[in-house]
Structure 1
Amino acid sequence: MNYIEFILNNIPTFSALVATGIFAGMLAGLLGVGGGIVIVPVLYFLFQSLGVSAESAMLVATATSLATIVPTSISSIRSHHRQGNVDVVLLKRWSVCILVGVLVGSWLVTRVDGTILTLLFGLIATMSALNMLFRTGKSTIYKALPNIVGQTVMGTSIGFFSAMVGIGGGTISVPLLTLFNYPAHKAVGTAAAIGLIISLPGAITMLTLGSTPTDAPVGTYGLVNLIGFIFIVPLTVLFAPIGAAFAAKLDAVKLKKVFAIVLLITGLRMLAQLFL
């Protein structure tokens, strides 16, 4: 099969990947949500539509999502750093424990059944959606971050669970930090840097140590689908600023509620696919 035949035979797949990149970029700019929380479920269902098993689809979606987060997080870090919203002190304190969590989590991804990852993502997506729907931005439980032991547990857990489900860390770290009365704008900016600490070693681990499933979509190396990466990344970077521009004109609070409902349905659907 030559390249022209390959492209013609896979136009629906390429179109879906283009739509994924645009959608993830727009949401990242519009609502401040990480692309991984969008990319993982879209790729999960897309790969299944191509004949890939649910277990293999989740493994490849997780690894590919982490790979796409690497360049987008670099762009996001620059933007937040210029605004002074990246907490360098906190990053220095947390970086090692986050990295340990990532390495353990990403190694486990290369060893476990994709069903476990689907269950974990479904639970995290559902909890994240409920958090967006019912928690106000000012709600806090603690007055300050815990001691060094508590922060070590927090950082390790963020790295571990984020790597396991292919997200950049903002989905977990932002609500977790704000529980401890941490400034929301600094939580978002610092989460962008945390995303790079998670995505780069996580993607490399899954690319080099992961065994490509026999039914993986074309263009998959290790557990990373390079075709998906090539299509999604440029569009995500391109459309994130467009989403941010729209955010200034639209009611982002209402839009975030709509997204939370969609995310809740997605999480519950992934869980239902496991048990029904």
Structure 2
Amino acid sequence: MAGLNITELLELAALLVVVGALAGFLAGVFGIGGGAILVPVFYECFRLSGVPLEVRMPLCIGTSLAIIIPTSIRSWRAHHARGAVDHAILRQWWLPVLAGVILGSVIARYAPERLFKIVFVTVAWSAAARLLFGKEHWRLGEDMPRGPLMKAYGFVIGLLSTLMGIGGGLFSNLLMTFHGRTIHQSVATSSALAVLIAVPGAIGYVYAGWPTAALYPAVAPLQWPFALGYVSLIGAILVMPTSLLVAPLGVKAAHAMTKRQLETAFGCYLFLVGSRFAVALL
């Protein structure tokens, strides 16, 4: 990465390894792929390494989705072993979620960098407000809906998750709790949903970034860290191992926490990461 000396490169590498562990832990605790922590950190790392602003945010998101693949699989397997995953919901959501991911990938190919930040901030803050200040009687129903509305939920989850670089747990957690499901069951089911989003999402960002990379030939081999489209291979390689190792610890922590503790922790976390990009929009 041009412009950085060896010491700075090692510091960035160490930071990414630590972030991988944190992302894996959060994947287990909150049923998310860890993207909401990976995207802000990748943004700072790529900024320091000289990645152009025009491609920085989608590169962060695409790399995050690629990392979410093994992390979410490990998290889902751990939750599944505890019998907490609702497979009936997954059967209803998988096709509309996939459609949303495909549309999100197409949008990523043409959208301005600012759009990704706006989506990230809006969704993160809205979810944080619901978790921190919501009341038990705030419900959309006593059970998950059926038919077109359920399919619409899945489509929106796939679309917004792809534009944010997350595994969908943020949205599915909120929707399930709004419809009477417990936070623990919501977290477990969301970990499986992340697998459905991350695999096609990462492929979509490779597609979306392929022509854009050609516009920056000077940075492609160095400052654009050995990327396939909008997926940084260096970022993925450094983060994946520790995220995989730590994910099961997050699952244990989630099942040890009370409902309110889990909601409060998730809400504070989302407010902080949303604030980071709100500052960047100023």
Q: TM-score range by the shorter chain?
A: 0.7 to 0.9
Describe how 1:1-276 pairs up with structure 2 within 5 A.
10-135=9-134, 139-210=138-209, 211-212=212-213, 214=216, 215=219, 217-244=224-251, 257=264, 260-274=267-281, 276=282
CA drift at 1:28 = 3.1
- Structure 1: 5+ residue runs without aligned partners? none
Between stretches 75-84 and 150-159, larger displacement belongs to: 75-84
Contact 1:173 1:187 in 2 (8 A): yes
- Give the Cα separation in 2 of the matches to 1:261 and 1:37: 12
CA-to-aligned-CA distance 1:163-219 (integer Å, 9 cap, x gap): 111000001111112111134333222211211111100101111342326255322
- Give the Cα separation in 2 of the matches to 1:24 and 1:138: 32
Give the TM-score of the pair, scaled to structure 2: 0.85
Between stretches 222-231 and 181-190, larger displacement belongs to: 181-190
Q: 1:48 to 1:119 in 2, by over 3 A?
A: same
Q: 1:209 to 1:265 in 2, by over 3 A?
A: closer
CA drift at 1:44 = 1.4
Contact 1:102 1:160 in 2 (8 A): yes
CA-to-aligned-CA distance 1:83-121 (integer Å, 9 cap, x gap): 222222222222111100111111211221221111111
- Give the Cα separation in 1 of the matches to 2:113 and 2:176: 29
Q: 1:244 to 1:190 in 2, by over 3 A?
A: closer
Contact 2:24 2:71 in 1 (8 A): no
Between stretches 60-69 and 19-28, larger displacement belongs to: 19-28
- Give the Cα separation in 1 of the matches to 2:94 and 2:262: 33
Contact 2:184 2:254 in 1 (8 A): no
CA drift at 1:33 = 4.6
- Give the Cα separation in 2 of the matches to 1:249 and 1:95: 29
Aligned AA (1:236): S
Contact 1:34 1:171 in 2 (8 A): no
Aligned AA (2:125): T
RMSD: 2.8
Contact 1:30 1:252 in 2 (8 A): no
- Give the Cα separation in 2 of the matches to 1:145 and 1:249: 26
- Give the Cα separation in 2 of the matches to 1:203 and 1:218: 16
- Give the Cα separation in 2 of the matches to 1:64 and 1:252: 31
- Give the Cα separation in 2 of the matches to 1:153 and 1:244: 29
Identity, in percent, stands at: 34
Give the TM-score of the pair, scaled to structure 1: 0.86
CA-to-aligned-CA distance 1:51-88 (integer Å, 9 cap, x gap): 22344221111001100111111112222222222222
- Structure 2: 5+ residue runs without aligned partners? none
